Amino acid sequence: MLKRIHHVGIVVRNLDEAYRFYRDALGLHVHKTAEVRDQGVKAALLRVGHSEIELLEPIDPRGTVARFLEKRGEGMHHICFETDDVERELAAARAKGIPLIDEKPRRGLAGRICFLHPKGTAGVLVEYAQPVD
Ligand code: CO
């Protein structure tokens, strides 16, 4: 079962510049930053209530996020739903014939994660995350 929206991923050209808007205009604060090499990004997580905004700045020009930015510009990149069993959620999506980006869960910023392909999700890249601590 999906429990809540864990975070919304937003692609930006420059993390520091984008953060100025989220901090000064919206009053949100970064609680975690990280480089996620296999996704080719620098990321900053901002808390808003029980959910987060995940700002993503590409650092690898050949990565998928860099290509997304080039093609579509800054803006919403993906929506992430929290689950307590990412394996089961992924298996359920596979059984329904939804095209997958990840065949197996992997380690991401939000815990154990996987992505469904936007061609099967009405155009929005969907992430499932099972937090680990
Ligand atoms: Co994400």
SS (H, E, C) 20-34: HHHHHHCCCCEEEEE
Contact yes or no for 112/130 (Cβ under 8 A)? yes
Instruction: Report CA(114)–ligand 1 centroid distance (Å).
Output: 9
Residue 39: pLDDT band by 50, 70, 90 thresholds? confident
Quote the CA–CA distance of 2 and 26 in Å, as a whole number: 27
Instruction: Report CA(34)–ligand 1 centroid distance (Å).
Output: 12
Given the DSSP bridges, would you call strands 75-83 and 125-130 parallel, antiparallel or unpaired? Answer: parallel
Domain ranges of the chain: 2-130
Strand, helix or coil for residue 90:
helix
Instruction: Report CA(96)–ligand 1 centroid distance (Å).
Output: 22
Instruction: Report CA(110)–ligand 1 centroid distance (Å).
Output: 7
Residue 38: pLDDT band by 50, 70, 90 thresholds? confident
Instruction: Report CA(126)–ligand 1 centroid distance (Å).
Output: 9
Query: Does the reported pTM lie above 0.85?
Result: yes
Average pLDDT, the chain: 95
Instruction: Report CA(113)–ligand 1 centroid distance (Å).
Output: 8
pLDDT digits (tens, 9 = 90+) for 50-99: 999 999 999 999 999 999 999 999 999 999 999 999 999 999 999 999 99
Token reading at 85: 């069993």
* pLDDT score for 77: 97
Residue closest to 47 by CA, chosen among 63, 59, 32: 32
pLDDT of residue 133 exceeding 90: no
Beta bridge partners of 94: none
Residue closest to 114 by CA, chosen among 80, 84, 77: 80
The superfamily (CATH) of domain 2-130 is: 2,3-Dihydroxybiphenyl 1,2-Dioxygenase, domain 1 (3.10.180.10)
pLDDT of residue 106 exceeding 90: yes
